[in-house]
Structure 1
Amino acid sequence: MPDPGGKSIIYEVCFSHDRRLGLMMRRFFASLPARCFARKAAVLAAASSTAEGKQVAAPLLSLVCHKPADLPDGAAEIAGVECLEASEDWRQAAEAASGRFIAFLPEQDRLCAGALKSLVQVLAGPAQDAGLLYGDALLAGPDDESLKPVLKPAFDPALFREIDYLSPFAVFRRDRLLAVAPALPSPALPLASRPGAEAVERVLEGLAEEDILHLPYPLVRTAVAPQRRRETRNVPAERAAWPPVNVVIPSRNGFELTSQVLRGLLDETDYPDLKVFIQDNGSDDARVLALYEETRRRFPNFSYEIIEEPFNFSRSVNRGLAKVSSGHVLLLNNDVEVTDAGWLKEMVSCLELPRAGIVGAKLLYPDGRLQHAGVIAGMSGLASHWYYKCYSEIPGHFGRLTARNSLTCVTGAVMLISEECLARLGPWDEENFAVAYNDVDYCLRAYEAGIRTVWTPYAVLYHHESVTRGKDRSRKRKTQFAAEKKALQGLHGTKDFEDPAFSPWLSKRSGRFRFRWRRSLPAVRNWWHQAR
């Protein structure tokens, strides 16, 4: 497929999400589009440097490598770049360098075409005050021929705690790296020649998130994928006390499902300070009414209210929130099934992450397919689940679905909201989002307020989606749905939204992973500021 600029050829391979996705992803990322991605990026970088290039005072970047052959031709002549030979201890090289920034090229890695020029350009411009910068990569297969793009999110402290996707080729402010060096243990071979994840972690401790930048550009070709650091699932014995959690369940009829969710909460969930409240918008099933009374008799921490009115999820949520005096709130659909006693403790533990105010869970359909692993804002100009209906154990790109992740949005079917977040954001929007996109609106309001949303794979529940209410395909509902989509785009600019959890190199068409047409390089970004 010809590139609009006429300078390269881009191929697109599309595939749908199904049970074969894992195999298809491996074949896809090992095929031609990976090379075309790198070539396209290099072409755009060359065009950008020609159009916007400026003289850079040397030295700006000190590049430490093992031998000159590791560098692309002409690297030493690039203005602003100082090339140094690696030493046995990276601290010696850092002290000998004179650049404002420093990067260490691992011995087996190679810089991608255009990487150095792109680095110098951003370090001299939009990233000149960065404390740390990192980029994307190309992962080479055993034959050193097949390539897989490693497309990274904007900096996410939750993800970095479990997966090191920064240290293999991070660009440090040299003074900050030297400042933390004395506190680090002597590095062990074979990693002595470059800072590892511990050094990155120490540098990050003194930085605001806005100063940790991601350059969505393939900087290195490497044989080492992002490495697992640890699992951070909470161990209950390590915590002495748990904050109160108020569960709010919007509901109507659905005796079997309501019985199931109440049993899961009150009999099967291991949480010491839990209150459960059902906001019912008009149940007329005598079995449900009897269930409410029997549950209230058995459990003093259960209550309910019935107000007969048309379904409005946001209004039901707000009625429930009005009953809460203190503590966190868990919004829970009545068609959710508890599978593990520790799921709620895991979700509450995620609120300890920096800026965290909303937490979502991993939700499965009864047949085991993935229903919810987070929501990407901006997909199809609105928002959409990613990895929707994939097999439950799919690891995701470089293992992201096996670790806690920051996302901009999670579903309201299982959403934990901190007490502080509730106070700052106020009620849910009943006027614009009665049925659809109310959870997306709330999460984007949180994002715009600087509040983090976290998704965890360690809290797993079944979701019998929309079983109670069913599907409403009436003309009135279609008109309402169109109005809700228009409201989301108008209030949050989702037509142009670039989700920091998602790569700007990927298409925003729902249900598919494919490369996106770009006429220019995406800008450097952090989690809290949009990059176009």
Structure 2
Amino acid sequence: MSQKSKRIKELFGYACTLTREQGVGAMASRAAGFCKRRFLGKKARYLPGKETLQAQRQDAAAQKFPTISILTPLYNTPENFLRPYIESVIGQTAPNWQLVLADASDADHAKVADIVREYAADEPRIVYTKIENKGISANTNAAAKLATGSYLALADHDDMLAPHAVYCAGRLLAETGADFVYSDEALFEKSPERPKVGHFKPDYAPEYLMAVNYICHLAVFKKELFEAVGGERPACDGAQDHDLFLRIIDEMQRRDPAAKPLHIPQVLYYWRVHAASTSSGTDAKPYVVAAAQKAVADHLAATGRRGTVEEGKFPGTCHIRWQIDEPQPLVSILIPNKDHIDDLEKCLHSLYAKTTYESFEVLVVENNSADPATFAYYKKLPQRYENARVITYNGGFNFSAINNFARRYAHGQYLLLLNNDVEVLNGDWLTQMVGECSQPGVGICGAMLYYPDDTVQHAGVVTGLGGYAGHSHKYHKRGGSGYMFRLATVQDYSAVTAACLLVRTAVYDAVHGLDEAFTVAFNDVDFCLRVRDAGWRIVWTPYAELYHYESKSRGSDEKDTTKKARFDAERERLYAQHGRDNILHDPYYSPSLSLDYEDFRESADLRNLK
């Protein structure tokens, strides 16, 4: 079946489920939103309507929002960029802003000062200073010295703010007293009313932030924190904002370990795409790569974490090779098996032939095999594979119960739940997973799984996809960067598949293992959500790669009415255990992205955006 046919089939199934559970009206509303976006154009699709903007102006006039000083270094700024930028700030629906412009333009661009003074003559909230050009960080720091707001924001001289940027940020800051908030953004070439693409971000995702500066614009943070960390560092010019965000968050968490930035799921910033902008790619500014690696390396040093920062799979991304304590912690690999010894042999052979991590044991969990050849294979297995043994589970197939049973016989500091129908691809896969799972606050690590045709089978689990849960970037071609590099960088997710799942044994025990009421489906999603609720993070890495010959040992649940009924019951149990709203609102997935597809496309109705 082709990728397109698979998507159509799965989408049709979701449509039927939505109609059955929420009625024809809900299905019609989703379909109408899709058709409107698909066929009636995308003009101003991220901007609130005029009525909303007017309501914000009236509300802001009665509120006491904190003042946000917007810092913008100027350097030979073209008039056709500078005027729209200044006017986008003046046109804000909330009055609690100050625009600080530090002008480092050369003598041939004196008109920059003339334009700014023209606007400043009528607008006292615009502050202007002429400075010597010492680079983006030093110039930003010069602007910060003139800021009078309790919060600072960073904006580039060639970009534009959405009209409700200050209102949305100010309102959240007033309601929460947050130290740091950030928003979604969009790229444009000529006008924000014709955006090229939106960058819809997750809530705070620390592992993702070390890999790439996904926060970017619009970021608003307390001036006091900016001063406490010494402002921006010229040594990181090119990735100065990435470096600043990491240091501010470190300072926040030094004061309060639970502190984190808050995400505003609104497009509040428009990033202009042109030849000299980093929005057109890091090739425009190659020094960004080295600066980003320094920023992350310094962050590791400041937080006492041990690892080597390398360039990631794509320019502008980082990858950390974590230092693992010696002796290597033991990993107990649990592999349920029923017959299918060809699959099991492929799995074990690849595991032992390729894996460079040395400290592991293998527990094959026999479950109701009927073929005499299987038991003959088991008899020879301990001699063929070092530290491998077979244990026997007596009971009907229940994936959760089988793994809970196997855990009793495991001696490792980590447990690796592994399907018998996977094949290891890269030698350091387990080293990468242990490195990630050993980091502070991380309880679980998942892997990149491919179908045999080299398309993605699993790159993290997003709850809410298809109404319940689905795999990120499913069917995407191998080797791509995915949405905002999310297919090519270490990521924070709400869940990962148990086809290849590494967990700290202490964490597994603390949440009492897998829930045996989930016999086949969603046991991994439920398990990860319980681990997440217990305060641990779930991480996925693209640097552990395996083939997954999905469901070979069980067959298709859809073709068996009994299995389908069981699947539907377990799906409903997921709602009952974790709440429908919690399932449909994954913090690591944006409410402006589709729940109908796995490829991070915009939602047909851009729900909740306006």
Q: Distance in 1 between matches of 2:95 and 2:36?
A: 40
Aligned to 1:530: none
Aligned to 1:94: 144
Cα deviation code 1:422-450 (max 9, x no counterpart): 132112111x2001110111011112112
Q: Distance in 2 between matches of 1:44 and 1:323?
A: 64
Deviation for aligned residue 1:50: 6.2
Cα deviation code 1:60-81 (max 9, x no counterpart): 2111234665232634884221
Deviation for aligned residue 1:92: 2.4
- Map 1:280-319 onto structure 2 (within 5 A): 280-319=366-405
Relative to structure 1, the CA distance from residue 137 to residue 272 in structure 2 (aligned partners, 3 Å threshold; closer, same or farther) is same
- Of 357-366 and 324-333, the range deviating more from structure 2: 324-333
Corresponding residue SS for 1:125: helix
Deviation for aligned residue 1:322: 1.2
Cα deviation code 1:79-100 (max 9, x no counterpart): 2212222355222222321211
Letter in 2 for 1:399: F
% identical aligned pairs:
27
Q: Which of 181, 185, 209 lines up with 1:137 in the alignment?
A: 185
Q: Distance in 2 between matches of 1:190 and 1:295?
A: 55
Aligned to 1:400: 486
Aligned to 1:37: 45
- Of 43-52 and 325-334, the range deviating more from structure 2: 43-52
Letter in 1 for 2:185: A
Relative to structure 1, the CA distance from residue 132 to residue 492 in structure 2 (aligned partners, 3 Å threshold; closer, same or farther) is same
Letter in 2 for 1:499: D
- Consecutive unaligned residues of structure 1, counting only runs of 5 or more, are 5-9, 16-27, 523-532
Deviation for aligned residue 1:510: 4.5
Letter in 2 for 1:477: K
Aligned to 2:552: 467
Q: Distance in 2 between matches of 1:143 and 1:78?
A: 22
Q: Is the 8 A contact 2:184 2:264 kept in 1?
A: yes
Aligned to 2:251: 206
Aligned to 1:502: 589
- Of 495-504 and 364-373, the range deviating more from structure 2: 495-504
Deviation for aligned residue 1:381: 2.7
Q: Is the 8 A contact 1:253 1:285 kept in 2?
A: yes
Q: Distance in 2 between matches of 1:505 and 1:372?
A: 22
Corresponding residue SS for 1:99: coil
Q: Which of 354, 361, 382 lines up with 1:268 in the alignment?
A: 354
Instruction: Compare the two structures and name the one with the higher helix fraction.
Output: 2
Letter in 2 for 1:515: S
Cα deviation code 1:464-513 (max 9, x no counterpart): 00112212433322222221111101001135531111111123224563
- Consecutive unaligned residues of structure 2, counting only runs of 5 or more, are 1-25, 27-31, 75-81, 104-132, 134-138, 283-288, 293-310, 313-317
Relative to structure 1, the CA distance from residue 423 to residue 45 in structure 2 (aligned partners, 3 Å threshold; closer, same or farther) is farther
Relative to structure 1, the CA distance from residue 61 to residue 68 in structure 2 (aligned partners, 3 Å threshold; closer, same or farther) is farther
Relative to structure 1, the CA distance from residue 400 to residue 394 in structure 2 (aligned partners, 3 Å threshold; closer, same or farther) is same
Q: Is the 8 A contact 2:185 2:217 kept in 1?
A: no
Cα deviation code 1:124-155 (max 9, x no counterpart): 223x2x22211111112499955111111111
Relative to structure 1, the CA distance from residue 42 to residue 419 in structure 2 (aligned partners, 3 Å threshold; closer, same or farther) is farther
Q: Distance in 1 between matches of 2:56 and 2:469?
A: 34
Aligned to 1:515: 603
Q: Distance in 1 between matches of 2:439 and 2:36?
A: 36
- Of 58-67 and 153-162, the range deviating more from structure 2: 58-67
Aligned to 1:493: 579
Letter in 2 for 1:149: G
Corresponding residue SS for 1:478: helix
Q: Which of 419, 440, 443 lines up with 2:528 in the alignment?
A: 443
Relative to structure 1, the CA distance from residue 425 to residue 287 in structure 2 (aligned partners, 3 Å threshold; closer, same or farther) is same
Relative to structure 1, the CA distance from residue 11 to residue 427 in structure 2 (aligned partners, 3 Å threshold; closer, same or farther) is closer
Relative to structure 1, the CA distance from residue 424 to residue 57 in structure 2 (aligned partners, 3 Å threshold; closer, same or farther) is same
Aligned to 1:70: 85
Q: Distance in 2 between matches of 1:212 and 1:504?
A: 18
Q: Which of 232, 242, 264 lines up with 1:197 in the alignment?
A: 242
Cα deviation code 1:95-122 (max 9, x no counterpart): 3212111012111111123222222222
Letter in 1 for 2:520: V
Q: Is the 8 A contact 2:472 2:598 kept in 1?
A: yes
- Map 1:204-353 onto structure 2 (within 5 A): 204-208=249-253, 210-222=259-271, 223=273, 224-225=278-279, 229=292, 230-231=311-312, 233=319, 235=321, 240-353=326-439
Aligned to 1:84: 100
- Map 1:106-125 onto structure 2 (within 5 A): 106-125=156-175
- Of 166-175 and 141-150, the range deviating more from structure 2: 141-150
Deviation for aligned residue 1:307: 3.2
Cα deviation code 1:193-218 (max 9, x no counterpart): xx521111111112246431111111
Letter in 2 for 1:201: L
Letter in 1 for 2:588: A
Q: Distance in 2 between matches of 1:106 and 1:286?
A: 70
Letter in 1 for 2:549: H
Deviation for aligned residue 1:336: 0.3
Corresponding residue SS for 1:267: helix
Q: Distance in 1 between matches of 2:237 and 2:435?
A: 35
Larger RCO (CA within 8 A; separation ≥ 6): 1
Letter in 2 for 1:438: N
Q: Is the 8 A contact 1:58 1:82 kept in 2?
A: no
Q: Distance in 1 between matches of 2:348 and 2:36?
A: 42
The normalised TM-score by structure 1 is 0.84
Corresponding residue SS for 1:38: coil
Relative to structure 1, the CA distance from residue 362 to residue 300 in structure 2 (aligned partners, 3 Å threshold; closer, same or farther) is closer
Corresponding residue SS for 2:230: helix
Q: Distance in 2 between matches of 1:61 and 1:419?
A: 46
Instruction: Give the aligned CA root-mean-square deviation in angstroms.
Output: 3.1
Cα deviation code 1:246-267 (max 9, x no counterpart): 0001110001101111112223
